[in-house]
Amino acid sequence: MAKTTTEEKPSRKSLSELRSQRWFGATDLRSFGHRSRMMQMGYALDDFMGKPVIGIINTWSDLAQCHTHFPERVKDIKRGIWQAGAFPVELPALSLSEQYVKPTSMLYRNLLALEVEELIRSHPVDGVVLMGGCDKTTPATIMGGISMNLPMIFMPAGPMMRGHFGGRILGSGSDVWKYYAEKEAGTITEKQWNDMEAGIARSAGTCMTMGTASTMTSIAEVLGFSLPGSSSIPAGDAAHSRMATASGRRIVEMVWEDLKPSDIMDRRSVENALVIHNALAGSTNAMVHLTAMAKRGGVEIKLTDFDDFAQKVPVICNLRPSGQWLMEDFFIAGGIRALMKRLEHLLHLDARTVAGTIGEGIADAEVYDDDVIRPLDKAIAASGGTAILYGNIAPDGCVIKPPAAEARLLNHTGPAIVFDSYDEMTKAVNDLDLDVTKDHVMVLRNAGPIGGPGMPEWGMLPIPKKLLKEGVRDMLRISDARMSGTSYGACILHVSPEAAIRGPLAAVRNGDEITVDVSRRSIHLHVSDEEIARRVKEWTPPPRNYPRGYYRMFARHVKQAHEGCDFDYLEGAEGIPEPEIH
């Protein structure tokens, strides 16, 4: 990505250089229509003429549960834009509810990214505020914004309030999996389970554990696309409303400064994101999303980068699912700014942000709770928030989150028990006569980008009910799927290439021995290369030849997990010409 220094830029753009002037500033027939239609909506010429036009990309809908406060936040953002002397316009975009969109919201991440890019390109806007938070909306909106390369600022949705049940604190996702296992084991009642259902999601906002949503909004801030400290603010905190207004004010100044994504994101900012991701023990989904975001900006990144940083960055955030606390506690402890301050010796402090540099943004930051954000000598883990494994069933890599797994499973050999579909797996794990032990290695395939389709979050395979009743709460599980960032356990994910395109995961059969050694970053199927090749040749993947529509386009153009799962024709930093206006 080409870099432009502040010194090379003019101090302020002129009115005639604003992009929106091509629509409103001319004196031809077409601009007559543009202005008159604005007045049709009740605006006076003084409202929008001679001012920057700021788009607000809003991923709200009636089924976007994490974004229920966005109608109010739009008002807050507009207030800031008006205060700064610009004209706001709201542009609704695809909402991707993690809970409701099936088979997975990941199937539509690239579609939202494409929509955001074209919304910006086709409308008379000079800069944009991106509103997102629920998992895929953060990388998707930013990917589209990077590709369009107009001034943009990301406003994170913020985490919800902590959950509670019977005097216990509940964390999104993490405690769902935990207590569901207990329900299946018969240690809690149906009534207790129903009471938890009513108490675990109590407000607007994203999951309040360090799941994918908070991982990606944290990464967005560290990349430089959000105001300092914004990603840690709970959705219901009054500070969140003030942050939204400040984002509206700041984007106007960014337009006059012509501060674009290409001026912000480079290798330094991506390396900063890798540092913070590991310190957070962040979601494994960051491997897919950060890779796609970086490639949109022409910044090269590989899975080995994640592993290199994992081995030198300690896990110092004591947050669920790898630790004890929740996002509200993290905010009170100082949030992302405090975390970066504690790790400033590992960061590129000169990396640019929407509001200066990383160093300037954390200059006065402090840690207020050393149990939530640990000192370096009291880390949760000295290294290894995530680990990338390679081997004969994952030649392009796969990922595990060691702090979230039982230690005994980080160096383990066991026989495979293989499932070709989620339905097959579900039926088997509920069979009390299933021939399985705690040492078995569960394998789910046909759940990758093409096989899923969309690489669903099926990778935290449920422990067989038979073993739950015996007290087993973790076992080694391998798949070409993803898992929720709120999940935990010895789950090996993103096996690449996936089985559906005849990756070697397709060769695994029941009873085959598999060895995983996280310390050596290895995963090995104890079958000869010749036998693997023979089995793969005989393998019949599930049919994925869709006759038409978006599924057909997705299957033809999506890339594999280690490449970020973007569409092949959307990667890269090359610009597309501005639209002609006639």
Rounded CA gap, 136 and 146, in Å?
Answer: 15
User: Are 217 and 193 contained in the same domain?
Assistant: no
User: Are 307 and 258 contained in the same domain?
Assistant: yes
Q: Does any domain span residue 44?
A: no
Q: Does any domain span residue 459?
A: yes
User: Are 328 and 454 contained in the same domain?
Assistant: no
Q: Is the distance from CB of 168 to CB of 174 less than 8 angstroms? A: no
pLDDT for the residue numbered 8 = 54
Q: Does any domain span residue 46?
A: no
What are 170's two structure tokens? 């509940």
User: Are 216 and 321 contained in the same domain?
Assistant: yes
Give the residue from 188, 66, 120 showing the smallest Cα distance to 468. 188
CATH of the domain at 533: 3.50.30.80
pLDDT tens per residue, the chain (582 residues)? 334 344 455 579 999 999 999 999 999 999 999 999 999 999 999 999 999 999 999 999 999 999 999 999 999 999 999 999 999 999 999 999 999 999 999 999 999 999 999 999 999 999 999 999 999 999 999 999 999 999 999 999 999 999 998 889 999 988 888 898 899 899 999 999 999 999 999 999 999 999 999 999 999 999 999 999 999 999 999 999 999 999 999 999 999 999 999 999 999 999 999 999 999 999 999 999 999 999 999 999 999 999 999 999 999 999 998 899 999 999 999 999 999 999 999 999 999 999 999 999 999 999 999 999 999 999 998 887 899 999 999 999 999 999 889 999 999 999 999 999 999 999 999 999 999 999 999 999 999 999 999 999 999 999 999 999 999 999 999 999 999 988 889 999 999 999 999 999 999 999 999 999 999 999 999 999 999 999 999 999 888 889 999 999 999 999 999 999 999 999 988 889 999 998
Q: Is the distance from CB of 314 to CB of 339 less than 8 angstroms? A: no
Q: Does any domain span residue 506?
A: yes
Q: Does any domain span residue 582?
A: no
Q: Does any domain span residue 12?
A: no
Rounded CA gap, 91 and 88, in Å?
Answer: 10
pLDDT for the residue numbered 177 = 84
pLDDT for the residue numbered 9 = 56
3-state secondary structure of 242: helix
The structural domain count of the chain equals 3
User: Are 530 and 412 contained in the same domain?
Assistant: yes
In the chain, the N- to C-terminal Cα span, in Å, equals 32
User: Are 336 and 457 contained in the same domain?
Assistant: no
- Residues of the domain holding 473: 387-544
Rounded CA gap, 270 and 564, in Å?
Answer: 14
> In 103-211, which ranges are continuous DSSP H helix?
109-122, 137-148, 174-185, 190-199
User: Are 312 and 277 contained in the same domain?
Assistant: yes
User: Are 394 and 529 contained in the same domain?
Assistant: yes
User: Are 343 and 401 contained in the same domain?
Assistant: no
Q: Does any domain span residue 109?
A: yes
What are 465's two structure tokens? 């009910």
